[in-house]
Amino acid sequence: MTTKASSSQQSMHIDPYEKTWMIISVVLIVVFGIAIFIAGYAMGFQVPAPEQKVDPKTVAKEGPFANPGLRELAPGRYEVYVLSKIWSFVPNEITVPVGSKVTFYVTSMDVQHGFKILDTNISMQIVPGQVSKLTHTFDKAGEYKFICTEYCGAAHAAMFGKVIVTP
C-alpha cells in the first residue's frame, strides 16, 4: 500500500543558521550592488579606459604628445597631455586655477607605468600604445602630487610631479 504524500508534508529542511547566512549573503549582494550604482552614477566615479591607440615608438614625435602639457579649452576647462617615460613624467609640473575641470591624457613611450594624483580620484595604469583618459575638477587650492604606481625600474621612486592649484 502506497500513500501519496501531500505537498504540505514535503519540505526541505534547512538549518536555521544556514538560512540566516543565506539571507545575510543575499542582503550583502544587494547592498554592494547599490553601492556600486551610487559610486558610479551619483558620485561620478570613473573607470579609466583606453581613449585611443598610439605607436609608442613615434608618440613623442607627432600629435599632442610631441608637445605635452596644459591646454586651455575654455575658461575653467583644460586638458593635459602627459608623456610617461623611464623615469619621468613630461610635464612634471602643471598649474591650474581653483575650480578647473582638467582632463588628463596619459601614455607611455617605453614600459608600463602608473599615474596617480594623490587626494583625487585619478589613478590609472599607463600601457605603451594606449592613451588613458580621466577627468577631475580641482575645487581646493594647493599642491596635488602625482606618482608612478607601477614599478618601472631602478629609478622608479624618482618618477613624480605635481599639479599646482592656485587660488
Domain encompassing residue 138: 49-166
19 and 99 co-located in one domain: no
Cα-trace Rg, the chain = 25
- The answer on pLDDT for 6 being more than 80 is no
77 and 26 co-located in one domain: no
24 and 106 co-located in one domain: no
Domain count across the chain: 2
**Interval 134-159: pLDDT, tens:** 999 999 999 999 999 999 989 999 99
> Where does the pLDDT of residue 89 fall: very low under 50, low under 70, confident under 90, or very high at 90 and above?
very high
Q: How far apart are CA 54 and CA 139, in angstroms?
A: 32
CATH code for position 134: 2.60.40.420
In a domain, 124, yes or no: yes
> Where does the pLDDT of residue 13 fall: very low under 50, low under 70, confident under 90, or very high at 90 and above?
confident
**CB 84 within 8 Å of CB 113:** yes
Q: Which residue has the cell 575653467?
A: 76
77 and 39 co-located in one domain: no
**Interval 23-45: pLDDT, tens:** 999 999 999 999 988 877 777 67
Cell of 135: 577627468
Number of H helices, E strands in the chain: 1, 11
58 and 32 co-located in one domain: no
Write down the pLDDT at residue 82: 96
